[in-house]
Chain A
Amino acid sequence: ELKVEQNPLFLSMQEGKNYTIYCNYSTTSDRLYWYRQDPGKSLESLFVLLSNGAVKQEGRLMASLDTKARLSTLHITAAVHDLSATYFCASLSFGNEKLTFGTGTRLTIIP
């Protein structure tokens, strides 16, 4: 059974700093997703990573995928308050049509 682990669970960081959220998954994955969720809101799709070595960037967020290490990272550059949210990674295993989500990382950016 596919398991997805995220760390840290909680992250409090100052504006302007850089940090990385890690997402490990237990079995071979077909693709990896990153989502953002604001309090009381739905999930917003950030990135879809399809192959080993894939890197995608949008603004201050950059996601990468290493299928050999079964690891994806979400890197935050020069954090700003607007990035405060909960971030989820989700993995899709081969031959399976359901996403398995990580526990989420609650990110708080402190001015």
Chain B
Amino acid sequence: KAGVTQTPRYLIKTRGQQVTLSCSPISGHRSVSWYQQTPGQGLQFLFEYFSETQRNKGNFPGRFSGRQFSNSRSEMNVSTLELGDSALYLCASSLSFPRSPQAFFGQGTRLTVV
């Protein structure tokens, strides 16, 4: 059974640019959540999608957005990148996260903004 796939794994962008990250959940999973991990702020919830609908959103500026497609694949977009957006972005897949017993995390996309 394939795991959660995040692409790309590494990304270097310049301030002011925008970036799109992709997450393919485990087959049959309909919920995808996104988290940002930084040394200073730790793991912070960005948003969660279920059946193409955003159910929850964390405390991030509007520059951070996402969407989910009918095949449950999800993308997140960050516009007008800032140095502070440098982080490891993780997505989690579950049948209906987090109320399912278990969620599976992808390997993450490490974004560096210069």
> In the complex, are the beta carbons of B43 and A42 less than 8 A apart?
no
22 contacts between A and B (CB under 8 A): A33-B98, A35-B105, A42-B106, A43-B90, A43-B92, A45-B102, A50-B101, A96-B56, A97-B55, A97-B98, A97-B99, A98-B48, A98-B56, A98-B58, A99-B33, A99-B45, A101-B42, A101-B43, A101-B44, A103-B42, A104-B42, A104-B43
Report Cα–Cα, A42/B99, bound state, in Å: 20
Which residues of B does A touch, CB under 8 Å? Answer: 33, 35, 42-45, 48, 55-56, 58, 90, 92, 97-99, 101-108
The smallest beta-carbon distance between B18 and chain A, in angstroms, is 24
Name the prevailing secondary structure of the A interface residues: strand
> Which A residues are CB-close (under 8 A) to B99?
30, 92, 97
> Which B residues are CB-close (under 8 A) to A104?
42-43
A 12-70 contacts with B by CB, 8 A = 30-31, 33, 35, 41-45, 48, 50
Report Cα–Cα, A98/B102, bound state, in Å: 13
> In the complex, are the beta carbons of B108 and A42 less than 8 A apart?
yes
> Which B residues are CB-close (under 8 A) to A100?
45
The smallest beta-carbon distance between B100 and chain A, in angstroms, is 9
> Which B residues are CB-close (under 8 A) to A99?
33, 45, 98
> In the complex, are the beta carbons of A41 and B107 less than 8 A apart?
yes
On whether A43 and B105 interact (CB within 8 A), knowing A98-B33, A98-B58, the answer reads yes
